[in-house]
Structure 1
Amino acid sequence: MRPATYIYLFIFLFSPSLFSQELISISDSLLHLKKKVYEFKNEGSFEKAMITLNNGVKLAESTESHKDLIDFYNLYIQLHTEYNKYDKARVYMTMAYSVLNYYNYPEGKALTNAFEALTLLENDPEEALAIIENIKSNITLEDKNNAICVNYIEGLINLKQKNYQTAQQIFEKILPVEHEFEKDYIRANTLLQLAKINYETSKFINGEIEASTALNVANEYNYPLIKIKAHHLLANIYENGGNYEKALSHFKSLTAIHNQVFTQETLKNNEDIAVKTESDFFSRILDQMNKDAIAQQQTVNISKLTSVLSSALLIIISLLTISLYRNNQIKYKTNDLLLKKNLELQIAKEEAEKAMQAKAQFLSTVSHELRTPLYAVTGLTHLLLEDNPNSSQKEHLKSLKFSGEYLLNFINDILQINKIEANKLKPENIPFDLRKVLNEVVNTYQQTAKESNNELVLKISDDIPSELIGDPIKLSQIFTNLVGNALKFTENGHVKVIADVKKSDFKNILVHFEVQDDGIGISKKMQTTIFDSFSQGSEQINRKYGGTGLGLAIVKSLLSLFGSEITLESELGRGTAFYFDIDFGISKTTQEEPEKVKTSLVNDDFFIGKRVLVVEDNKINQVITTKILAKKQMSCDIASNGYEALDKVHENQYDVILMDIHMPGISGLKTTEEIRKFNTEIPVIALTAISLDESKDDFYAAGCNDIITKPFKPEEFYETLAKNMINNSVSSES
């Protein structure tokens, strides 16, 4: 036995972390290490399993136990495949094959081949199945441990190939499991695979039973990876059966286990130990190669070799000296250049920051100034709709109301287009009716279509569910731009809006959208830049048709939020067609109409006689707010600035205060702070056009109870008033 063997024996036999202090044989040491690897692997301790494996390989190498060495390499492969680290598994597979090339161990080779088939499963399942068939036809597996592993992998491959009957027969033959080290672990995994087969073949009751049994075994012996897989499968089974409460419970359980097992620290430690182990492997290989090289060099003439090496060394030193000198010269010049460039970049950075601040201030001002007149437009429109207009006026007023609301959202998205590029703006995920959204867009443009003698047609597939999960506002903006563009460049023709199902399951639906026209078309040259900001077909087109050239750029930016891309087909004089796909969720329940949900809080009698203080400096806004309050028979006082508001709150009792923020004298926030010094109970609601640089947190910090953004929907306005007045009365009683 070599000297190194005694050293390794001493380490492994007397290490308190792995073995007792009594003297045991090398064979027992190797067997004990294998057992510990299985235990650590099954309980999810990747790092401990890797350390134990590394020790096992060292001991097997030092004692030239080739069979055990191959077994440890196969354990490396098995560990990494269970964690889906196939690239790492192939590294150890190469090591196993290198030993198998000169050591005959058929069963070990069969297991290595089986694991190779497993790594090929995703990309080449046919080849994987061929490898398994070759193993079965050429080798009789006497070792029960190896036989079970090969059969289990064969079952996985057939399951992946959807050979459900064959896979089921294979897995059922494995039970009851007779494995020396992981009988219960394989039993739980086998039950889990049988549950998957039943799930895939719609035998959900059987699947539930087997998955639950697998979960019980995993809980009893603490197998985290199996727990995660079992919870996930049970969640899918219950969700498919409509038992969403149980499905959610299992999803929460698997998330909790996953977060506990796969922490950032654990993942980092796993990666570090994997890299270190590979490094140890390659270091040992290099050491062996160096030893071989030294042995060969002993047969060479030492003096001649020394002479050659000395000459080579002198040449290398000379070259290195020259290289270092040149590198130092280059380094000095480069450092000087970098200092100058850094200074230039710092100046450019400061200029860019100033420009961004100026842009933000400009957008903030524009935002506020546009919202103020929009409040008048939407408010007056609502009041006119409440005055029982005739049917033709009513349709026009509804279109005006929709356009006003759209314009507000349009302004918001224009102000936040820089957030899209910075990935800060995310689409909403709320229930909505796709047909309603598209009909509103089309109805808005029907009058425009008539003026250009165009026919505007909407075609929506009957297969699209009545309620989807997505962002209706941004979707409306996309179609408003596309339909508006199509009508602008089309006369005496047709514009079609089409929505059809491209792919669907019980959770999601991929909808294919098209907007087609037979207008003037777009040239091949302009198709490459048509989605750029401020891009128009040509200067002549810009003069004739007008527009900012932002429409398609906004469409492209908004679609990027949905993970979608827009494409077009066009020919001059023959029209244009725009295409894109969006993935929506499918709502499980029918959402109540928003108005019903909101007005269910109180009835109209609640508002009668309520007294409101409106703090607002704009005369038109005073009139509109007063009339909207009067619709519910509320009385109100007007304060044109903060000082008047403070006097009125001192002198009178109010149920609620509507506070504008931007006023002459003292601001609405300062006024609210002063009110809170002597009255902490009265609800104060900020009624304001929030600008880009304002934070809602500042409003609440000043003492506001709630915020209503101008312009608003009257239904939401009344709901917010009622909510705050009710909350105040409840707190007063308590």
Structure 2
Amino acid sequence: MKKVKHNLIFKTVLTAIFSCLLFSCAIAQEPPTAFKDLDYYFSVARKNKNQNNIKSALEAIQKAADYAEKKEDEKGLIDCFHKYAFLYLELNNVPRSKFYWDRTRVLLKNIAYPYGSSESKYLEAIYLYLDKNNFQAEEKLSEAKQLSNDRNLLNRIVLTQANINFQKTNFLKASRFYNALVVNSDIYEKDYFTTQGYLGLAKINSFDNPEDCIKFGLEALPIAKKNGFINEMLEINTLVGKAYEDIKDYNTALIFNKNLIHLKDSLYGITASKASERTANDIHIEGLEQDVKTLLDKNLEQEASINRSESTNIVAFAILAIISLLAISLYRNNQIKIKTNNLLQKTNKELEIAKDEAVKAMEAKTNFLSTVSHELRTPLYAVTGLTNLLLEENPTENQKEHLKSLKFSGDYLLNFINDILQVNKIDAQKLETLQIEFSLRKTIKDVIDSLQQSAKSNNTKLNLVIDKKISRAHLGDPIKISQILINLIGNAIKFTKNGEVTVTINELKKVEDICTIYFEVKDTGIGISNELQENIFDSFEQGSIQINREYGGTGLGLTIVKNLLNLFGSTIHLESTKGVGSIFSFEIELVCKDKGASNTEDEYIPQEFIFEGLKLLIVEDNKINQVITKKMLSKKGMASDIANNGTEAIELAQNNTYDAILMDIHMPGISGVEATIEIRKFDSEIPIIALTAISLDDSVENFYAAGCDDIVTKPFKPDYFYQKIGENIFNKKIT
């Protein structure tokens, strides 16, 4: 009789489990929308979490979870579980945080909820960051950003990116993220993110710049006090107190240390921490008890049903026997799966370690090449700048010949450095295509004009055949299209002497406003044999050592072309016969903008400017570069002052009137980007031109976002340099 009773109970438990699964599936089919009342509980929890009142935050989320269950709001329940996970992280209880994260992952399998999926990826990134798997954490953050555009979540992601780069000691990148938080526009936690931004900048400067550490700390402290951010107040007082000690201001340091003791005694006692831990445990146990109670209730219902029907018992025995056999089979299969999974997890872990090592090696190579390329540009600026100045000072014929050779060598070295940096950026996935309005005809004509001199030196005729149907204006990336054409046409000219190079541009088709443009570069040069065509697009590959010695070059041009076309979703095609010539062709889709286009050829004509009487501020830490830039300005009748660093630049810009500022980006202390941000706070009109030996980590978008009006890359051609100064001073005054 006891055995029968045990069997009945076992059977009812299984039935209850199956019922629960069916109920969960039924809920997943029709996910209800979120209810406004949940926002209230989430707001309460958010405020208490930021004030380190984890107990009240947990209680608010418990009420939100009860409400979501009552309303059968599955998305709301996912949000509650995520917030449980975040709060347990605040208590340093990672296993319990992952317990709730796992529950959301199960629920998300049955429901389409992009925001919930994004938060799940974000949580996974935090776990990886805590385990110091920084590369994998950044990958998950990138995936999270693609799933949702919620401003609060994006700000939390930015904060985590800043902390990851701080952990990696990449302080330059970390400071950019912290600066972004300082000026955030979050509707829920604006003050919290602003405090975190200033606090992060204070931490970065705490290592070697105590004055700036104090400055940022004192910016953060009143915001933290106003909002009751206890943890941040503790950290700020600690950092600022230590910074005052570093500058030997011990009286002020003592004040902050006393504040620290007072905060610890009155606001951050052990009792409050234990109360939060107890509340967390109570809520966790209550959740588990609720799950058990649900199963027991269903068991009682099934047991009552069995007692009411003898015939049901007989059927139950039969089902139980079948289930028992299935259970044994499932158990054995499960054991096999466990062993297999353990083996797979071990293998995956080894693969992840190997991947991390490979990524670190790639990052080291990339950073090395980037650093070398950037560092070479600075002395190269001196070489090319001084050469141009000497050529303008009426040298003798012998001196002119030597200077022209020096200029040629400098230009050759600059092209080589540019190619290395371009390939390095492509390898590091730092390039993206722009979407701006431009004239394709003008872009192509500019490229052809710039290469005519090279064609004449090889006694080669350079032809352009362009389809009349091609629109006057397009939407796309003219810079990268120019780079592709310059490399292809430049290569064709280099390998074609006493011959002909023909560039053909046709519009193949037009569907609504999308045009498919065909580009072809045909030459009558040395050609490429079939066996060498397979590797011709590899880095540093020119076909043979003999070709490299005879014609020179880096062997990177076609690699750059291939990778730039990948950004457009296009491929390069090659037809070539040795001794006859080669044809390189590709297609690109562009947006046509006929309505806003001009009916005449859009031709670039350099403007003539009168520079006499202008006064500029040169911000440059390199002494040689200061001399060269100052002399170049004085040749056009312009006066100038020199700032040796960003701090001097801010002071001079405040106390003097200048027509423009030439801002170096990479300087000791505060960078050119940070100096520009500070200047824009009190002067929004003055033209600021970034002069930079641009590196891999540099982002042109960051320069413009900081307030730069234009960018000139060092080394630069004098005519281009003067043109940019004139455009930004005189054209800006006209507008």
In our comparison, the structure showing a higher alpha carbon Rg is 1
TM-score, reference length from structure 2: 0.44
TM-score, reference length from structure 1: 0.44
